[in-house]
Amino acid sequence: MAARILSLIASTAALVAAVEPSLKLKTFVDSLELGSSFNPVMEAYWTGLPHHRRTPFAVSPDGKTGYLAYLDSSGTGVHVQQVDPSTMAATGTAVTIENVKEAGGLVAHNDGFALLGNEPIATTVANAPPSGTPVPAIYRYSNGEQQWKTFVAGPGVHEEDGLSMAPDMNGDLVWSEEAELYGAYFVVTDYSGDATGHFGDSIQYVNSNGTLEVIDGASSSWGCSHNTGIAFEAADEAPFASICAEDQGAIWLNTGATGMMNNGVKVSNENTTNGAGGESLGGMSGSYSGLARFVNSSSYIFTWVSRGAVDLTENTWMGEGYTASQNRTNGRRVAMAMFTDKSTKATAQASSTVGASGDDQVNWITTEIGADRSNAHVAVFDDQYALISYEEIAEPSCDFIAMGCSGTFTGSYFQLVNTAGQKIGEPVKSENTYVAGDMVTRDDGSICWPYVNMEWRLDVPALSLNVAETQKMSFACMSLA
């Protein structure tokens, strides 16, 4: 009898272990009152199509305080509002960082936050950029007071390689508790030296007291030419895990400052044009929650959108070993890649063989062709499961080579995946929430992100949307059920 009961218990346990979790969505509509107004739409580079203006979001390590950063609707001044992470309502007094032109990344600490922003430097300062073009900086606040501000480009920063500025703040900020370092990865334009007038990117490290540290094999003054998207995540020591989408034909895992060179890991072949790579990492106002590290693990997960790649040809500008490609599809599909550590892709790299198919290595999340997907993001639940989000246009018009598409927005999708790179179940669909700021894992293991409660349209240019400014922010949370 006892043996029978034991075997019954054992088989029940086996059954429980085999059941995969499912997803449960909860929204907090208009939960956060803002003290100032915010313009939720940004015009995409070149196409003028609407993108969400990113609102960086972070929760402190002790789980007690959330922070939401947003650009004032006047276009100058970033506000950082405290958020109660259980009710998603406002708490505390908002901090305003004057003169900052965009909120480019946010780290929450138990005593405050650090923001990546960009601000103009007076032209009277020696070697300041021309015409007040903003320069990226990290701002550290504790208990509502600024502790330090450190420029990560501009006068005095890697002067011998050329000076950099950031007219747009595309990039991200991360913090490693183990390394006691902030890492910032951002798009730059040089205003002195060989790369004057060209767009590229830069990786800089700043320690906890605000000192810029130049770290060999980690810091980089110039990486991917015409970086069209960044994905960045902390590691236990520098270099941190970094990915760039460039405009020559590829997406690279370039941890260790390998830029767009093939001593890095080629994640994907992409059809590109000058200054664009299919908005694979979100394009204008994207570059966040693209790469995430599993809890208590050295593994990372990356997501992007892609038209696929066929007919690899030699990229003569880059030289032997580098390729360009044609797109396989009209609309974009969502893909994911796993890395066993910050420098190693779990499965084969993308091909660089001329004449080969360029996307055989891709692990597609959406396999069907026809629709267009954009705004892909990822965050982890724990050490096993992650959530990938994207938006869809079922019947897109893709009028621009290697840019975004337009058409009627047909919903946001949320797909559960595991560390083995497998999809679990069908995606959850929602027509009234989408991701417009960082996806953050809360204390209770759920993943939350900010958005503005509005009708979202992808069928007309941003300027003809006439979107109202808002003083309310909403949040959505996904948990495992």
User: Which residues of this protein are in contact with ligand NAG, per CB under 6 A?
Assistant: 207, 209, 211, 271-272, 295-296, 307, 324-327, 329-330, 382-383, 398, 401
The answer to whether the Cα torsion of 220, 222, 225, 230 is positive or negative is positive
What does the alpha-carbon distance between residue 337 and residue 290 come to, in Å, rounded to a whole number?
11
What does the alpha-carbon distance between residue 377 and residue 390 come to, in Å, rounded to a whole number?
7
Which residue sits closest to ligand NAG, CB atoms considered?
398
Give how far Cα 78 sits from Cα of 27, 161, 271, 286, Å. Answer: 25, 30, 35, 18
Helix (H, G, I), strand (E, B) or coil at 5: helix
Q: Which is nearer to ligand NAG, 40 or 283 (CB)?
A: 283
Task: Give the shortest CB-330-to-ligand NAG separation in angstroms.
Answer: 4
Contact status, residue 186 vs residue 174, Cβ threshold 8 Å: no
Task: Give the shortest CB-247-to-ligand NAG separation in angstroms.
Answer: 9
Q: Which is nearer to ligand NAG, 112 or 129 (CB)?
A: 112
Q: Which two tokens stand for residue 75?
A: 């276009």
What does the alpha-carbon distance between residue 295 and residue 301 come to, in Å, rounded to a whole number?
11
Q: Which is nearer to ligand NAG, 124 or 296 (CB)?
A: 296
Closest to 258 in 3D by CA, of 209, 217, 310:
217
Task: Give the shortest CB-297-to-ligand NAG separation in angstroms.
Answer: 8
What does the alpha-carbon distance between residue 444 and residue 86 come to, in Å, rounded to a whole number?
10
Q: Which is nearer to ligand NAG, 23 or 166 (CB)?
A: 23
Peptide bond into 167 cis (omega under 30): no
Task: Give the shortest CB-267-to-ligand NAG separation in angstroms.
Answer: 17
> How many C-beta neighbours within 10 Å does residue 466 have?
8
Q: Which is nearer to ligand NAG, 190 or 279 (CB)?
A: 279
77: left (phi over 0), alpha (psi -120 to 50) or beta: left
Q: Which is nearer to ligand NAG, 213 or 426 (CB)?
A: 213
Q: Which two tokens stand for residue 45?
A: 């580079």
Q: Which is nearer to ligand NAG, 27 or 326 (CB)?
A: 326
Task: Give the shortest CB-404-to-ligand NAG separation in angstroms.
Answer: 9
Helix (H, G, I), strand (E, B) or coil at 440: strand
Q: Which is nearer to ligand NAG, 166 or 398 (CB)?
A: 398
Task: Give the shortest CB-67-to-ligand NAG separation in angstroms.
Answer: 23
